[in-house]
Amino acid sequence: MKKMLLLFSIMVLCFGCADDDVRRENPFLLDLRIDVTINTNLPQYNSLNFPGNAIYFGGQGNDGIIVVNAGPNILAWDASDPNEIPRGCTRLQIQGLVGQSTCETPNAYSLIDGQPLEDGNLQFGLFNYRVEENGNVIRIFN
């Protein structure tokens, strides 16, 4: 059991480092510092109390943040298409559990795992942020 726990810890550490390296290498998005809190008791964020819902939180990150209740946990993604230079059409629109740009050739991403849904040539998945939950308060930061 101890060996299994140690192996799991090493895997988490390795994958966590790899994710940060890929994030820093993305030429389209800035690694902006954020630290925001959302209170799900407030009406505009109440839908986050239920699995399968997502909201847009503007004014943070590259083009706002998409916050998702994925069932067992809350996820937070930068709302800018990670495979495009930011412009008017690259802010992802929420369509259920999919985030999609409005560019001429739109890119779509899963809001559950952050991976592209269609084009196998897209290099980057969604830019994620860390999330802490404390009762009805969600803290999103990096």
Q: How confident is the model at residue 18 (pLDDT cuts 50, 70, 90)?
A: very low
The whole-number average pLDDT for the span 94-100 is: 97
Predicted pLDDT of residue 121: 87
The whole-number average pLDDT for the span 97-119 is: 94
Q: SS3 for 122-137, per residue?
A: CCCCCCEEEEEEECCE
Predicted pLDDT of residue 119: 65
| Entry pTM | 0.82
**Which carries the bigger pLDDT value, residue 7 or residue 122?**
122
**Which carries the bigger pLDDT value, residue 94 or residue 20?**
94
CA-CA distance, 57 to 2, in Å (whole number)?
Answer: 41
CA-CA distance, 11 to 62, in Å (whole number)?
Answer: 29
The whole-number average pLDDT for the span 81-102 is: 96
The whole-number average pLDDT for the span 14-29 is: 60
